[in-house]
């Protein structure tokens, strides 16, 4: 199906053409079109353009009005104030535009991006043998939404889950498991995520205890790290057990999150082990990195410690070991040269901002990144408790992600159950919807504020039926579905000949903006702007209900046209929520 040109786009085009005709020297003239309360749109760009051309803005505006023949799309255009233009769209044009979107059931008329490329996105990166916490939630939720958005606009997306599966603590774990080989064995073939985590937890604690109390074990454990990095086959085999056990746990959490994570996309820190030496060699030979007190370092003009001395990025430690930075630099080489990315995206905690700034700058100096191949950290803020402090349990421990998700689902199920009888939901539907509402609430709370900001994890607010929550949007969707079920013989059908009520026009003009919103949000990696678009859509729908009866409208044509309007609204809500990773149950 063809993509649909938005009404604002065609008005923008007409105005730009008229402006260039009136001001041939102005080059590309932007009329600065905005939605407006006074008319449908207002163009504010003429003032600045007139000033530049030393022309009278009102005269210029009048010239533009004369050029723009009010016609199919523009019903009315007039000059206001010092040189603004107020523009009213024809009702017929609105309905016809929406009908074209409705006919394109897959994409709702949303165009593909003009110049799609290849993005490698680094997100959902928990650590092996460790419990997942709320920070991992944010990376997963934001990353997944950005993946969906980019793919929808035609971008090729390669997902990379850069899990923490390498490093010194594995020496201790491997050595312990090697000496107690049956600790990770399972009684049954089916291991639950929780079981896997509790195995790992138990093993970690036991290993740590021995490590702290037994000097000989400590020595054996340290030697084991060296074996691991050298690729000793037996050591690797034991290490693999840890990774596999952790993956069982990760997958169970991601499933709880209603999120698809694929095994081949999990390329952890260990995956770049073979590249580390080469990365260091390239950096040293090109002079990007220099030896300093035995370590291989990269220095930056503007990165200094509290004492005023430069703080380098350490690529290789003086004992020869490689750290987090060497791995990330190697991953950049892999993503740029093997995966052929032109955009690298990292959905990582803002507290790692300095690390990424230094890593990206190093890669730029090495020529791995440049104007055509860019890297960007989509940094996210901290999840806070209700008290505004970093989210901790009463005992001061980090909150387990699983506990949090379970509680959200529990609360949401209670909310769903309250209305279940009235809606006629079976117990199975209550359970299923409870899950979609609870997980949706957690995701939406994360996605509806700009990522860099900290946000408060407040379950009461998240599952509230009023306000900017996913439940509110899910109810808006389910309500439309219920109307459509009750419509009987009447089918949603566009009737462009009908005059539209103000609430219908407002809803329609907002629906018209869906494509632009999606393209903009995908390009700027700001899912919160899609959330706010959808919230506004649901609010406009509420106003529409107040002012325009659907099934009891005056004529059969009006009933059909309103069914068509709400159905397109439902599809838009559904698609938008889907892009955010949130389900919209049919009955709620
Ligand atoms: N595993 C890390 C953590 O839990 C996040 C990894 C981020 N990605 C990266 N390429 N460094 O903090």
| 53: confidence class by pLDDT, cuts 50, 70, 90 | confident
User: Looking at residue 129, which CATH number applies to its domain?
Assistant: 3.40.50.620
Ligand 1 atom with minimal separation from the 331 CA: 10
**167 CB within 6 A, ligand 1:** no
**ipTM tops 0.85:** yes
**Per residue in 511-545, pLDDT tens?**
999 999 999 999 999 999 999 999 999 999 999 99
Q: What pLDDT is recorded for position 1?
A: 60
CA of 162 to the centre of ligand 1 (A): 6
Q: Where is the domain boundary, 327, 358, 384?
A: 384
Mean pLDDT of the chain: 94
Write down the H helix ranges in 463-584. 470-486, 502-511, 514-524, 527-547, 556-579
Ligand 1 atom with minimal separation from the 349 CA: 12
Angle, nearest 10°, between helix axes 470-486 and 527-547? Answer: 40
**127 CB within 6 A, ligand 1:** yes
Within this chain, do residues 173 and 286 fall inside the same structural domain, yes or no?
yes
CA of 346 to the centre of ligand 1 (A): 9
Within this chain, do residues 426 and 327 fall inside the same structural domain, yes or no?
no
CA of 123 to the centre of ligand 1 (A): 8
**162 CB within 6 A, ligand 1:** yes
d(CA 111, CA 5): 8
CA of 31 to the centre of ligand 1 (A): 44
Within this chain, do residues 22 and 142 fall inside the same structural domain, yes or no?
no
**165 CB within 6 A, ligand 1:** no
| 107: confidence class by pLDDT, cuts 50, 70, 90 | very high
As a dihedral over the C-alpha atoms of residue 304, residue 310, residue 313, residue 314, rounded to 10 degrees, the angle is: -140
Residue whose entry in the numeric block shows the structure tokens 């060497």: 326
CA of 576 to the centre of ligand 1 (A): 28
**Per residue in 200-227, pLDDT tens?**
989 999 999 999 999 999 999 999 998 9
Report yes or no: 366 and 289 within 8 Å, Cβ to Cβ.
no
Within this chain, do residues 13 and 126 fall inside the same structural domain, yes or no?
no
Would 428 be classed as within a structural domain? yes
CA of 352 to the centre of ligand 1 (A): 9
Nearest CA residue ID for atom 8, ligand 1: 162
User: Looking at residue 463, which CATH number applies to its domain?
Assistant: 1.10.730.10
Answer whether 0.90 is exceeded by the pTM.
yes
Average of pLDDT values for 560-585? 98
Which residue from 55, 84, 58, 64 is spatially nearest to 22, judged by alpha carbons?
Answer: 64
Within this chain, do residues 279 and 352 fall inside the same structural domain, yes or no?
yes
CA of 161 to the centre of ligand 1 (A): 9
Q: Which residues of 546-565 are buried (b: 16+ CB within 10 A; e: fewer)?
A: eebebeebeeeebbbbbbbb
Within this chain, do residues 310 and 445 fall inside the same structural domain, yes or no?
no
Q: Which residues of 143-163 are buried (b: 16+ CB within 10 A; e: fewer)?
A: bbbbbbbbebbebebbbbbbb
Within this chain, do residues 166 and 291 fall inside the same structural domain, yes or no?
yes
Within this chain, do residues 176 and 48 fall inside the same structural domain, yes or no?
no
Would 497 be classed as within a structural domain? yes
Q: Which residues span the domain enclosing 73?
A: 7-89
Q: Residues 6 or more apart from 300 whose CB is under 8 A from it?
A: 310, 312, 313, 358, 361
Q: Where is the domain boundary, 89, 110, 134?
A: 89
Q: CA end-to-end span of the chain, whole Å?
A: 32
Q: What pLDDT is recorded for position 497?
A: 98
Would 106 be classed as within a structural domain? no
Would 36 be classed as within a structural domain? yes
Sheet containing strand 313-316, edge to edge, reads: 290-292, 295-298, 313-316
Mutate to test the pocket of ligand 1, among 121, 344, 348, 380 (most ligand atoms within 8 A of CB): 348
Number of domains in the chain: 3
Q: Which residue has the higher pLDDT, 27 or 378?
A: 378
Q: Where is the domain boundary, 89, 108, 143?
A: 89
Q: What pLDDT is recorded for position 183?
A: 86
Residue 509, class by beta-carbon neighbours within 10 Å (0-12 exposed, 13-18 middle, 19+ buried)? Answer: buried
């Amino acid at each position: 199906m063809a993509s649909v040109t938005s009404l604002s786009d065609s008005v923008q085009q007409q105005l730009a053409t008229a402006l260039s005709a009136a001001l041939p020297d102005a080059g590309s003239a932007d009329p600065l079109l905005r939605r407006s309360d006074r008319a449908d749109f207002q163009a504010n760009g003429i003032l600045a353009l007139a000033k530049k051309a030393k022309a009278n803005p009102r005269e210029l505006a009048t010239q533009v009005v004369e050029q723009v023949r009010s016609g199919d799309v523009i019903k009315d255009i007039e000059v206001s104030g010092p040189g603004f233009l107020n523009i009213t769209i024809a009702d017929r044009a609105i309905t016809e535009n929406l009908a074209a979107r409705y006919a394109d059931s897959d994409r709702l008329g949303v165009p593909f991006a003009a110049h799609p490329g290849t993005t490698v996105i680094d997100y959902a990166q928990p650590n092996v043998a460790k419990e997942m916490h709320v920070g991992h939630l944010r990376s997963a939720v934001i990353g997944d939404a950005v993946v969906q958005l980019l793919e929808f606009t035609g971008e090729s997306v390669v997902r990379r889950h850069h899990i923490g599966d390498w490093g010194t603590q594995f020496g201790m774990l491997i050595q312990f498991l090697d000496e107690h080989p049956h600790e990770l064995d399972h009684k049954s073939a089916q291991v639950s995520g929780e079981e896997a985590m509790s195995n790992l937890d138990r093993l970690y604690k036991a290993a740590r205890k021995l490590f702290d109390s037994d000097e000989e074990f400590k020595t054996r454990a340290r030697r084991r790290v060296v074996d691991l990095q050298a690729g000793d086959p037996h050591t690797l085999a034991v290490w693999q057990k840890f990774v596999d056990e952790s993956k069982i746990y990760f997958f169970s959490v991601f499933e709880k999150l209603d999120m698809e994570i694929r095994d081949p996309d999990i390329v952890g820190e260990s995956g770049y082990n073979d590249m580390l030496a080469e990365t260091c060699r390239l950096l040293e030979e090109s002079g990007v990195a220099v030896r300093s007190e035995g370590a291989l370092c990269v220095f930056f003009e503007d990165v200094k410690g509290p004492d005023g001395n430069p703080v380098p990025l350490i690529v290789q430690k003086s004992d020869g070991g490689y750290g987090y930075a060497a791995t990330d630099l190697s991953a950049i080489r892999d993503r740029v040269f093997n995966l052929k990315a032109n955009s690298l995206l990292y959905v990582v905690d803002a507290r790692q901002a300095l690390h990424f700034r230094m890593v990206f700058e190093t890669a730029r100096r090495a020529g791995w990144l440049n104007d055509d191949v860019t890297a960007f950290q989509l940094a996210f803020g901290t999840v806070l408790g209700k008290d505004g402090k970093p989210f901790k349990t009463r005992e001061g421990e980090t909150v387990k992600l699983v506990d949090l998700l379970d509680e959200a689902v529990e609360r949401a199920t209670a909310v769903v159950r309250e209305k279940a009888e009235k809606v006629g939901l079976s117990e199975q539907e209550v359970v299923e919807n409870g899950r979609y509402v609870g997980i949706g609430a957690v995701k939406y709370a994360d996605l509806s504020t700009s990522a860099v900001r900290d946000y408060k994890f407040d379950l009461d607010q998240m599952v509230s039926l009023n306000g900017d929550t996913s439940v509110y949007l899910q109810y808006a969707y389910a309500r439309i579905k219920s109307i459509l079920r009750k419509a009987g013989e009447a089918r949603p059908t566009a009737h462009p000949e009908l005059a539209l009520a103000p609430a219908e026009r407002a809803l329609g003009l907002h629906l018209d903006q869906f494509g632009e919103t999606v393209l903009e949000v995908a390009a700027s990696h700001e899912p919160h702007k899609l959330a706010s678009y959808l919230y506004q859509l649901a609010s406009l729908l509420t106003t529409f209900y107040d002012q325009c009866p659907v099934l009891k409208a005056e004529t059969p044509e009006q009933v059909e046209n309103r069914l068509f309007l709400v159905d397109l609204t439902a599809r838009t809500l559904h698609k938008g929520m889907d892009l955010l990773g949130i389900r919209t149950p049919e009955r709620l």
